[in-house]
Amino acid sequence: MKKTAWAVALLLATASLGPSTTQATARAAGGRLTLSGAWALYPLAIRWQEEFQKTHPGVHIDVQAGGAGKGVADALAGVADIGMVSREILPAEVAKGAVAVAVAKDAVIATVSRKNPFLDTILRRGLRKEDLAAVWLRRTRGTWEGLLGLTGRTPVHVYTRSDACGAAETWAVYMGGHQEDLAGIGVYGDPGLAEAVRRDSLGIGYNNVNFAYDARTLEPVRGLAVCPIDLDASGAIEPREAVYSTRDDLIRAIAAGVYPSPPARELYFVIKGQPRPLLAEFLEWVLVEGRKYVAEMGYIAIGPERTAAGLAIVRGAAERK
């Protein structure tokens, strides 16, 4: 029933857009596309790459992760056809020609090591937004005991991302800052940050959902624990806030609005100017056919209005060519 309702809504929303790019032009027999940018989108983009190439055997799609900042820069410089971006697009980037198409949703979450000596207390109490800000922004909580209302001097080892990325910016915005304000040992990339925290019993970091959870078991990566956020600042994780046991539990909480936005956010494909036919065809495929892979890859699908807006951009650009 939900799928039918979504399909009807999308049909109504896009009815005035005219023929699709795949109807208006012959399907590309071959060609190459390059995607660059956010680690947050990398797993889903790889799946889209694989599925698109199955029905377009002459097309080669290259996907490289390197952070949202790199993705935007590569798209604007013409180095990549698509920049994968996991934060809001900046006005300065729009002024340079960046066009953003929303393709999915996910979130950034706090992580600690399973070896943390205070793990039981962390999971029972969680950390408040103000605690997170005290660690990463104000630098006023330097011990685990200070964070958890205990007595002692066990240091908190704080980690952050060294690359310009949407995860860091989203995490910082949630706490009231920007990526450049974040304290911590800089680590490159989502996998690197997850591994650094996993190995450090006193570490705390943050990750995109699909790098904190195992894609096979759907549970947190072995050796890593997801640190719950005490959303109501009650000093305990209430049943409504206990949404971190599996990736699917968290995804449902994000979709239901239980997990806040930010650090929940939309993910974008960014292009510059008018897409050539193959690029337009791929973007349209992602928004329509590619939707079926979003949930199984641990993301949340965008709604019909956002999908229609994306299709309007893609089809409108194709019509202006």
Task: Render 248-265 in DSSP notation, one character per residue.
Answer: HHHHHHHHTT-S-TTTEE
pLDDT tens across 34-88, in order?
999 999 999 999 999 999 999 999 999 999 999 999 999 999 999 999 999 999 9
- Global pTM reads 0.89
Q: Give the amino acid at 288.
A: V
Are 135 and 39 contained in the same domain? no
Residue 298 lies in a domain: yes
Is 1 exposed, middle or buried, given 0-12, 13-18 or 19+ CB atoms closer than 10 A?
exposed
**What's the CA gap between 284 and 32, in Å, rounded?**
16
Residue 173 lies in a domain: yes
Are 31 and 148 contained in the same domain? no
- The domain tally of the chain equals 2
Q: Which pLDDT does position 316 carry in this prediction?
A: 76
> Which residues in the chain land under pLDDT 50?
1-2, 4-19, 21-26, 318-321
Are 165 and 92 contained in the same domain? no
Q: Which pLDDT does position 320 carry in this prediction?
A: 46
Q: For 9-15, which contacts have Cβ atoms below 8 Å and span 24 or more sequence positions?
A: 9/304, 10/304, 10/307, 10/308, 13/304, 13/305, 13/307, 13/308, 14/307, 14/308, 14/311, 14/312
Residue 155: phi, psi to the nearest 5? -70, 150
Are 77 and 11 contained in the same domain? yes
Are 71 and 210 contained in the same domain? no
Q: Which pLDDT does position 19 carry in this prediction?
A: 43
Are 7 and 147 contained in the same domain? no
> CATH no. for residue 133?
3.40.190.10
Domain that holds residue 10: 2-106+266-320
pLDDT tens across 145-160, in order?
999 999 999 999 999 9
Q: Give the amino acid at 245.
A: S
Residue 103 CB partners (closer than 8 Å, separation 6+): 41, 44, 267, 268, 269, 286, 287, 290, 302, 310
Are 83 and 176 contained in the same domain? no
Are 82 and 115 contained in the same domain? no
Q: Give the amino acid at 53.
A: Q
